[in-house]
Amino acid sequence: MIENLTLDQLRIFIAVSETGSFSAAARRLGRVQSAISQSMQGLESVLGTAVFDRSGKTPRLNEAGQAILGDACRLVEGARVLKARAASMSAGLEPELSVAVDAIFPSAVLMASLKAFSQRFENLPVSVFTEGLGGPEQRLRDGVVRLALNSFITTAGWRDLETEFLTRIPMIPVVASHHTLAGVNGPLTRAQLEAETQLVLTDRTPLSQSSFGGVISQKIWRFADLGTRLEYLLAGFGWCNMPTHMVSEAIAQGRLKRLRISGAQPIELAIHVAFERGRTPGPAGRWLIEDIRGRLAACPESFILK
């Protein structure tokens, strides 16, 4: 009866390939050479093919051995990750982290936190969904994610949510530098804005089929995502309110112009992290929240309001 393939055989196989001989592999693994040779004979028996060329003084990997080496490495690494994940879960760590993020949230902050997260929790799988308006909350209520970074939380739904304040994002009215409004001197009146097309972000989730950001113009174009609206804004299709951090570079480059509106009040969007009541974030989720909070505190006041 042929014995089953074992991880120990694969580890020895990899050691032989890396050290170049049975004797060197034996020294690395702290075993006698005969045990290494016997294990490799067993491996070849299970695989049904020779993986070493024994025609010379020292056995060397043949073509078949070189071909399966990558598979062996992946299996051994997969077993290591599995063991590490099981150990983490037994210590109370979440089996995975899933987050839905409002597209308005500063991507540079999120990426920096996730990079640090991946280094600290290297074996923890992460899923990130970028959504607009009610999208993150919808993902949370649907059970797709454990955390939602959102600027738009409703009271509707069949589950209660808990929220923690993170920051406020300032919004400013802007238009393409070649648009008619860009050439108007002095503060704009409401009548002047009403006559021009306003690019409006619209919620596409069933939680709230509404438009975001005060609609002023009589002519509006609706967009379901922030990125597409920004492209049309830059192309001169109309004006809208945008997060400062998303348009500051284009303003500095002269591609966009900030509008001054008579009597307008500052617009700020409060960003919260939300999760199901009674299902609080685990150690990994809490670490990510606090890391994001720390990075937001270091952002310029013009981009993020503490």
Which fold does the domain 7-90 belong to in CATH? Arc Repressor Mutant, subunit A (1.10.10)
Highest mean pLDDT among 5-9, 159-163, 251-255: 251-255
Mean predicted confidence (pLDDT) in 232-252:
93
Query: Distances from the Cα of 67 to the Cαs of 5, 47, 50, 207, 246, in angstroms?
Result: 17, 13, 12, 53, 48
Please give the share of the chain, as a percent, with pLDDT higher than 70: 87
Among the listed residues 144, 152, 187, the one whose alpha carbon sits nearest the alpha carbon of residue 169: 152
Residue 241: its pLDDT value, please?
92
209 pLDDT more than 50 = no
Lowest-confidence pick of 119-133, 193-207, 259-273: 193-207
Given a contact cutoff of 8 angstroms between Cβ atoms, the answer to whether 260 and 188 are in contact is yes
User: Which residue intervals of the chain are DSSP H helices?
Assistant: 7-19, 22-29, 33-47, 63-90, 107-120, 135-141, 190-194, 226-234, 244-252, 283-297
Say how far apart CA 289 and CA 284 lie, in whole Å.
9
Highest mean pLDDT among 25-29, 149-153, 157-161: 25-29
Highest mean pLDDT among 16-20, 63-67, 137-141, 241-245: 241-245
138 pLDDT more than 60 = yes
- Give the pairing of strands 161-176 and 267-276: antiparallel
174 pLDDT more than 90 = yes
Mean predicted confidence (pLDDT) in 258-276:
87
31 pLDDT more than 80 = yes
Please give the share of the chain, as a percent, with pLDDT higher than 90: 28
Given a contact cutoff of 8 angstroms between Cβ atoms, the answer to whether 226 and 103 are in contact is yes
Residue 184: its pLDDT value, please?
87
Lowest-confidence pick of 44-53, 80-89, 105-114, 218-227: 80-89
Neighbouring residues of 216: CB distance < 8 A, sequence distance ≥ 6: 190, 193, 194, 198
Residue 20: its pLDDT value, please?
82
- Give the pairing of strands 211-212 and 198-202: antiparallel
Residue 1: its pLDDT value, please?
38
290 pLDDT more than 70 = yes
Confidence band of 249 (pLDDT split at 50, 70, 90):
very high
- Give the pairing of strands 147-150 and 267-276: antiparallel
Residue 157: its pLDDT value, please?
45
> pLDDT digits over 74-129, tens only?
888 787 767 655 655 555 567 788 999 998 899 999 999 999 999 998 878 899 99
> pLDDT digits over 179-203, tens only?
999 988 888 888 888 889 999 888 7
Residue ranges of the domains in the chain? 7-90, 94-306
Residue 66: its pLDDT value, please?
85
- CATH number of 94-306: 3.30.300.30, 3.20.20.140, 3.40.50.1820, 3.40.190.290? 3.40.190.290
Say how far apart CA 280 and CA 305 lie, in whole Å.
26
